[in-house]
Structure 1
Amino acid sequence: MTIRTHAERGLLLAILLSAVTLVLEIAGGILSGSLALLSDAVHVLLDLLSLLFSYGAIRVASLPPTDTRTFGWHRVEVFAALINGLTMLAASLWILHAAWGRYSHPVAVESGLLFVVAAVGLVLNGVSAVALHRGAVGDLNVRSAFLHVIGDTLSSVGVVVGAVVMAWTGWYRADALISAGIGLVVLWGTGRILRDALRMLLEGTPPGLDAGKVSETIRAIEGVDRVHRLHLWSLCSHIPVLSAHVEISPSHASRPGEVLEAIRSALRAEYQIEHVTLQLECGPGCTFPAAPGLRH
Structure 2
Amino acid sequence: MACSHDSCCLTTVSGEDGTAPRWRRALWIALIVNAGFFLTEVVAGVMAGSASLEADALDFFGDAANYAISLIVVGMGLRWRSRAAMLKGATMLAFALWVLGNTTWHVWTGTVPKAATMGVIGVTALLANGGVALMLYRFRTGDANMRSVWICSRNDALGNMAVLLAAAGVFGTRTGWPDVVVAAIMGGLGLHGGWQIVRQARREAGMGPTQLSAAR
The bucket for the TM-score relative to the shorter chain is 0.7 to 0.9
More strand by share: 1
One-letter amino acid of the counterpart of residue 18, structure 1: N
State how far apart, in whole Å, the 2-side matches of 1:12 and 1:24 are.
Answer: 19
| Superposed structure 1 runs of 4+ greater than 3 Å apart | none
The TM-score with structure 2 as length reference comes to 0.86
Equivalent in the alignment of 1:124? 128
Identity %: 25
Q: Supply the distance in 1 between the matched residues of 2:96 and 2:13 (Cα, whole angstroms).
A: 34
2:82 to 78, 81, 85: 78
Q: Which residue of 2 aligns with 1:165?
A: 169
CA RMSD of aligned residues (A): 2.0
How many correspondences in the alignment?
Answer: 200
Q: How does 1:1-296 map to 2 (within 5 A)?
A: 2-3=13-14, 4=18, 5=20, 6-59=22-75, 61=76, 73-201=77-205, 203=206, 234-235=207-208, 239-241=209-211
Tell me the secondary structure at the aligned position of residue 210 of structure 2: strand
Secondary structure of the residue aligned to 2:138 is: helix
Query: Structure 1: which amino acid aligns with 2:145?
Result: N
Q: More displaced, 180-189 or 133-142?
A: 133-142
- Asked if the contact 2:139–2:147 (Cα under 8 Å) also holds between the matched residues in 1, the reply is yes
**For the pair shown, which has the larger CA radius of gyration, 1 or 2?**
1
Higher helix share: 2
Q: Please give the alpha-carbon distance, in whole angstroms, between the structure 2 residues aligned to 1:39 and 1:125.
A: 15
Which one has more relative contact order, counting CA pairs under 8 Å at least 6 apart? 2
Decide whether the 8 Å contact of 1:33 with 1:108 is kept in 2.
Answer: yes
1:188-241 deviation line (CA, Å, top 9, x unaligned): 10111111111123x3xxxxxxxxxxxxxxxxxxxxxxxxxxxxxx23xxx224
| CA distance, structure 1, for counterparts of residue 147 and residue 215 of structure 2 | 20
The amino acid across from 1:102 in the alignment is: H
